[in-house]
C-alpha cells in the first residue's frame, strides 16, 4: 500500500518508447561487452526490440506502457486487458524539496496479499491488522 499526499501520485506512467529505449540500451550494452562473442539469440532479440521501436508511430511511442507479467505476446499488453498493469516510475516532481529532509512525504506499508504464499498463521493476522489501519489518518499527516 502506498500512501501519498491527497490528490498527488508519487509515480508517473512510463511510455512505450521509454521502455523500449531502456531494453535496447541494456541489450546493446551486453552485446558491446561481449564483442564478437554475442550469441545469435541475443542479437536477434536486440534486432526485434529495435524493429518494434521503429514500427511505432510518434503517438504509439508516447502511449503508456502496460505489461501483464508474461512476454508470450511481446513486451507490451493492452492496458484494458485483465491482469495488465501500467509500467510506472517514481515522479521526482511529487517530492517537495522545500520541506525539511526529515519530513515524511510518502508512506509504504507492506502486508501479505490474499492467496499469496506466506506464513500460514502470521499472514492472515497481518492482513487483518492492515485492514484496521486508518490510511486516511496517515495520509492527513502528509499534507
Q: Tell me which H or E stretch contains 83.
A: none
Other beta carbons within 10 angstroms of residue 129's beta carbon come to: 10
Distances (CA, A) of 35 to 23, 41, 49, 72: 18, 14, 19, 29
Write the pLDDT tens digit of every residue in 30-77.
999 998 888 889 999 999 999 999 999 999 999 999 998 766 667 899
Say whether pLDDT at 81 is over 70.
yes
The average pLDDT across 90-101 equals 93
Distance, C-alpha 60 to centroid of its chain: 19
pLDDT at 95: 92
Amino acid at each position: 500500500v502506498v500512501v501519498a499526499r491527497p490528490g498527488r501520485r508519487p509515480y508517473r506512467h512510463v511510455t512505450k518508447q521509454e521502455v523500449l529505449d531502456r531494453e535496447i540500451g541494456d541489450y546493446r550494452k551486453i552485446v558491446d561487452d561481449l564483442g564478437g562473442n554475442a550469441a545469435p539469440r541475443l542479437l536477434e532479440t536486440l534486432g526485434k526490440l529495435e524493429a518494434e521501436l521503429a514500427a511505432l508511430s510518434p503517438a504509439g511511442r508516447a502511449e503508456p506502457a502496460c505489461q501483464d507479467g508474461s512476454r508470450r505476446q511481446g513486451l507490451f499488453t493492452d492496458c484494458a486487458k485483465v491482469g495488465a498493469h501500467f509500467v510506472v516510475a517514481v515522479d521526482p516532481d511529487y517530492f517537495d524539496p522545500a520541506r525539511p529532509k526529515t519530513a515524511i512525504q510518502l508512506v509504504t506499508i507492506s502486508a501479505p496479499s490474499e492467496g499469496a504464499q506466506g506464513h500460514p498463521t502470521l499472514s492472515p493476522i497481518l492482513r487483518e491488522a492492515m485492514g484496521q489501519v486508518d490510511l486516511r489518518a496517515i495520509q492527513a499527516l502528509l499534507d
